Chains A and B, each alone.
Chain A
Amino acid sequence: MIRSLPLVLLFACNMAVARGTYQEPADFIAETFDSAPPSPGIIWLRGDTRDTTTAILGHKYPSLRVRYWGDPQRSAWILEEIGKDQPITVGLVVSGGRLERIKVLVFRESRGWEVRHPFFTDQFRETGLTGDLDLDRDIDGISGATLSVRALKKLSRLALYLHTRIPEGDDTP
């Protein structure tokens, strides 16, 4: 009986709070634009844009369009990519063609949650794209979180690429 006590204790914990939502996407956008976010614009994933998006992710983006907030100088994005089983929701800000900020907003995977911490995401600051649409600096991974790390790298490349697709003079319709 005593040997079974730890098993009983493990299941005695109360299930309380759903895990994984660290910041609501709307709050991330509001924070990015000092509580005065512009109206969202839309990038339709057609033609070359769709093909390049597919090449970056290794599969089709699960949407026909991507919303953004901002303009060709500075833009904010809410993007999703599956790590192993579940989509990771990430907020990204691109400024002058480089990542200004990346933050994991919702993490639903059962492993690899370390990617949400600033000690990992800070590596992405000031990262841009090479001509081959790769990140122009090394991002060190986290042991045991390979697929989550890979998902964030892909979304960083995608945000940097989509930023270049914002029409000039289009100040968030």
Chain B
Amino acid sequence: MKHNVLSLSLAGLLLASTPLQAAEPGGSAPTVEELWKIIQQQQAEIEALKRQQQSTEQKVADVDEKAEAAVEAVEEGGTATASAGSWADRTTIGGYGEMHYNNIDSKEEIDFHRFVLYFGHEFTDRIRMVAEVELEHAVAGGDNDGEVELEQGYVEFDLNERHSAKAGVYLLPVGILNQTHEPPTFYGVERNPVEKNIIPTTWWAGGAEMVGEIAPGWSYNFGVHEGLEITSGNYAVRGGRQKSSEANADHLATTGRLRWTGIPGVEIAGSLQYQSDITQGNDSSADDAWLFETHTDIQRGPYGLRALYARWDLNGNGPEAVGADEQSGFYIEPSYKLTDTIGIFARYNQWDNQAGNGSDTRQRQYDVGVNYWPHPDVVLKADIQSQDNDGDQKNDNGFNLGVGFQF
């Protein structure tokens, strides 16, 4: 169409110019040969213009193609996966941290409780590494209270669409907080005392584990890993964590979990662990041990409810003598989100690390508090705790403030 317009325009000029020349005063009309020469010259000009136009159009097309290629290159760079991305694309850094102010009977202190750096790297689409390094209580080494710990460090292999296997140091699949404990994800400045003293959270171990899905909404974990090595005289399970630091592996432990998340906002799970010797053979009066844990975690609209029960059974005369043959506890925690950024909660906790004796060793704690999320990954917390412990155990009452983040 553009060519036709150009041709018509040139022909019009030709026709218009001929009478002008003929009409010039004193001029003579061009001969047929002269006209033919003029037409040939103008035809040559038309051909030259056509070639020029085609060249211009080709250049425009080339520019379009290059622009498209540039856009596609940028887009590919933004959506790189393990099989296509650079080393940086396949490496992830994250983390979380929290600082607490505790004003309770046992202490009045400010503590940067933990700072955790997360590293992930995809070797291929099916093989990846995950590691978490934690600094507890801000300063480690010497006489300081802090510790530097490797909380996770494993390689995971996808076996197929539904199952994967991991080997290394990983968080055991027990309880609500043990695997998901970034500060913005839970209520309360401090982690609840039941999961801390009974499960005991945070609990990681070296070993291997299968993780997968057996039906929509149903998932499982099954692993073999280092067990506890309880050495203290009261057989409290929390003191038995070996933290994969030259851990005694004479008696491995086996942990399994079944988890259901078939309704949005609802999780129900149960875990079972068995260990053939809770002291790794160091105490002939102690024998094998079982841990049973079950919980639900519900968040439907603004309403939330967490409830958990955990119980250890330690066999042997030694644990039985001090009542540590049964160590159990539970908590229930209703919550309500007033807005998208403010939530309130209450929690009743009860636990006993010597539940097998006739003495008054049970502990109870009531918590009420508020979380404020100025950003989904940042949280400010405040709560009040009040204890009502049995026997001559001191109560630890007061309030706590905290700030936490994840990235």
Chain A residues at the B interface, C-beta cutoff of 8 Å: 3, 6-7, 10-11, 13-20, 61-65, 80, 84-87, 108, 110, 113-114, 117, 119-120, 123, 138-146, 150
Docked Cα-Cα span, A6 to B264, in Å, equals: 34
Cβ of A85 and Cβ of B125 under 8 Å apart? no
Cβ of B264 and Cβ of A16 under 8 Å apart? no
Partner of A86, one of B81, B210, B376: B81
Partner of A11, one of B161, B165, B176, B301: B165
If the complex has contacts A15-B158, A85-B120, A119-B263, are A110 and B164 also in contact, measured as CB distance less than 8 A? yes
Docked Cα-Cα span, A51 to B396, in Å, equals: 51
Cβ of B261 and Cβ of A140 under 8 Å apart? no
Nearest CB in chain B to that of A106: its residue? B81
Cβ of A120 and Cβ of B78 under 8 Å apart? no
Cβ of A64 and Cβ of B71 under 8 Å apart? yes
If the complex has contacts A13-B165, A63-B79, A140-B299, are A7 and B224 also in contact, measured as CB distance less than 8 A? yes
Within 8 A of A (CB), among B148-177: 156-165, 167, 176
Cβ of B92 and Cβ of A63 under 8 Å apart? no
A40 to chain B, nearest CB (A): 13
Q: Which residues of B contact A18 (CB under 8 A)?
A: 125-126, 158, 161
Docked Cα-Cα span, A94 to B78, in Å, equals: 24
**Contact flags B267-302 to A (C-beta < 8 A → 1, else 0):** 100000000000000000000000000000101111
Q: Which residues of B contact A13 (CB under 8 A)?
A: 159, 163, 165
Q: Which residues of B contact A11 (CB under 8 A)?
A: 165, 167, 208
Number of inter-chain CB pairs below 8 Å: 119
Partner of A142, one of B77, B92, B160, B261: B261
Nearest CB in chain A to that of B251: its residue? A3
Q: Which residues of B contact A123 (CB under 8 A)?
A: 264
Docked Cα-Cα span, A100 to B126, in Å, equals: 33
Closest 10 CB pairs of A and B: A62-B78, A140-B265, A143-B267, A140-B264, A19-B161, A63-B75, A85-B92, A143-B297, A6-B224, A17-B160
Cβ of B126 and Cβ of A63 under 8 Å apart? no
Cβ of A143 and Cβ of B180 under 8 Å apart? yes
Cβ of B156 and Cβ of A110 under 8 Å apart? yes
Cβ of A87 and Cβ of B264 under 8 Å apart? no
B30 in contact (CB, < 8 A)? no
Nearest CB in chain B to that of A44: its residue? B71
Partner of B216, one of A117, A144, A150: A117
Q: Which residues of A contact B161 (CB under 8 A)?
A: 17-20
Q: Which residues of A contact B262 (CB under 8 A)?
A: 119
Q: How many chain B residues touch the partner (CB < 8 A)?
A: 55
Partner of B159, one of A6, A15, A120, A140: A15
Cβ of A16 and Cβ of B128 under 8 Å apart? no
Q: Which residues of B contact A63 (CB under 8 A)?
A: 74-75, 78-79
Nearest CB in chain A to that of B302: its residue? A138
28 contacts between A and B (CB under 8 A): A7-B207, A7-B224, A13-B159, A16-B159, A18-B126, A19-B158, A62-B79, A64-B74, A80-B79, A85-B92, A85-B128, A86-B81, A86-B82, A87-B79, A87-B81, A108-B82, A108-B125, A110-B156, A114-B217, A117-B217, A119-B216, A119-B217, A138-B302, A140-B265, A140-B299, A140-B301, A142-B261, A145-B261
Cβ of B160 and Cβ of A6 under 8 Å apart? no
Nearest CB in chain A to that of B94: its residue? A84
B228 to chain A, nearest CB (A): 16
Within 8 A of A (CB), among B87-123: 92, 94, 120, 122
| Extra contacts besides A63-B75, A117-B217, A143-B297 (17): CB < 8 Å | A3-B252, A6-B254, A7-B208, A10-B167, A15-B159, A16-B160, A18-B126, A19-B161, A84-B120, A110-B128, A110-B158, A114-B219, A140-B299, A140-B300, A141-B264, A144-B179, A146-B185
Q: Which residues of A contact B75 (CB under 8 A)?
A: 62-65
Nearest CB in chain A to that of B216: its residue? A117
B213 in contact (CB, < 8 A)? yes
Q: Which residues of A contact B185 (CB under 8 A)?
A: 146
A58 to chain B, nearest CB (A): 9
Q: Which residues of B contact A114 (CB under 8 A)?
A: 217, 219, 261
Q: Which residues of A contact B77 (CB under 8 A)?
A: 62
Q: Which residues of B contact A140 (CB under 8 A)?
A: 264-266, 299-301
Docked Cα-Cα span, A65 to B263, in Å, equals: 36
Nearest CB in chain B to that of A123: its residue? B264
